[in-house]
Amino acid sequence: MTTYSVRSGDTLSGLAQRFNTSVGSLQKTNHIANANLIRVGQKLSVPDSFQAAAPSKAGAKAGSYTVRSGDTLSGIASRHGTTTGALAKANNISNPNKIYVGQKLTIPGKGGSAPVTPKPSSGGSTYTVRSGDTLSGIAGRHGTTVNALQQANNISNPNKIYVGQKLTIPGKSGGGGTTNPPPTTGGVGGTPGTSGGKGGVSVAQLRKIMPNLSQAKAEQYLPHLNKAMAEAKINTPKRQEMFLAQLAHESGELRYMEEIASGAAYEGRKDLGNTQPGDGKRYKGRGPIQLTGRANYRAAGKALGIDLEGHPERAKDPDVAFRIAGWYWGSRNLNSYADAGNFREVTRRINGGYNGMASREMYYRRAQDVLG
């Protein structure tokens, strides 16, 4: 058994891949109920000798793979030397963002030849990088691989692309054209579109962004969510996309309105205002953006006119929880960063770092597709 201390930027799925284990195994070993909630400095026990599914080798025929928690279709494709498009086609998947744990996937093979990395040709298209894009996400949307994009665009570090960068998308000859980013509406002074904006979002839109959220919960939460967004002036698609993406990650798609851990780890944390015995448990994380610590409960309650310091349990109730999330957003001036398209800075100001960035970006892209 190995012990690992979580660092900024770590995700459970990334650690599972690094240590050749599974997200489920890490969760079980460390009693983690929500795979999206790990914290910097947390000590994880890493089980030994786990035999993960091996990536496809050169010359391998078609195989199969069982989807695990934290998997994405683009990640599976990359590990098996194929493309997201090929995987989607082989498994009749219409939406590459919708796969589920336990799903059996057919991994297409070449029947004796090594996986071929697509190379750029005169028929390739171009794409302009937008805020929130990742190379793996772009590869997935265009049916290619990260390696192919790197080769086509002389990119040495796949984590370093910038907004406005023109990328060549490798393609078959004859399939030219330019791939433009989907249109967006809004921004400061913009006109909110029917899929977002001042009118808030619909149940259908919310569930497309958070597919694991039940219809009943979506209907219960939506009035409080839309009211909170209006109160915090989260009233353009740009702002709503970033806000909902962060909420989706922080709360496990609104399934966790209270931190599962007891809160004892926060006992005596003077930086959180926990100066009295029992404050750690009393003021543990609650709400879709986990409000934590006596000082934060006091500040939020004062701003909203609610005695949260005296009644901290109210922070998990939908009518209060979403207002707290809106207050937290406004207190850190996040609308201005959303207007500027700076998703990374929004993440840093919410998380204190970039923990779970891949998950946050996945929800952000999904929200852009739904609301943009």
Q: Which residues are catalytic?
A: 250, 259, 296
Partnered with residue 169 across adjacent β-strands are: 125
Rounded to the nearest 10 degrees, what angle do helices 343-351 and 357-371 cross at?
Answer: 130
Q: Tell me the residue ranges of DSSP E strands in the chain.
A: 2-5, 43-46, 63-66, 104-107, 125-128, 166-169, 177-179
Question: In the Cβ-directed half-sphere of 98, how many Cα atoms lie within 13 Å?
Answer: 10
Environment class of 322 (CB within 10 Å of its CB; exposed 0-12, middle 13-18, buried 19+): buried
CA distances from 368 to 100, 151, 244, 345, 354 (A): 21, 27, 10, 17, 20
Partnered with residue 166 across adjacent β-strands are: 128
CA distances from 302 to 74, 185, 283, 333 (A): 45, 34, 15, 18
Environment class of 93 (CB within 10 Å of its CB; exposed 0-12, middle 13-18, buried 19+): middle
Q: Which residues of 203-215 are buried (b: 16+ CB within 10 A; e: fewer)?
A: eebbbbbbeebee
Q: Which amino acid is at 266?
A: Y
Sheet holding 125-128, edge to edge: 166-169, 125-128, 177-179
Report the alpha-carbon distance of residue 53 to residue 309 in Å, rounded.
Answer: 49
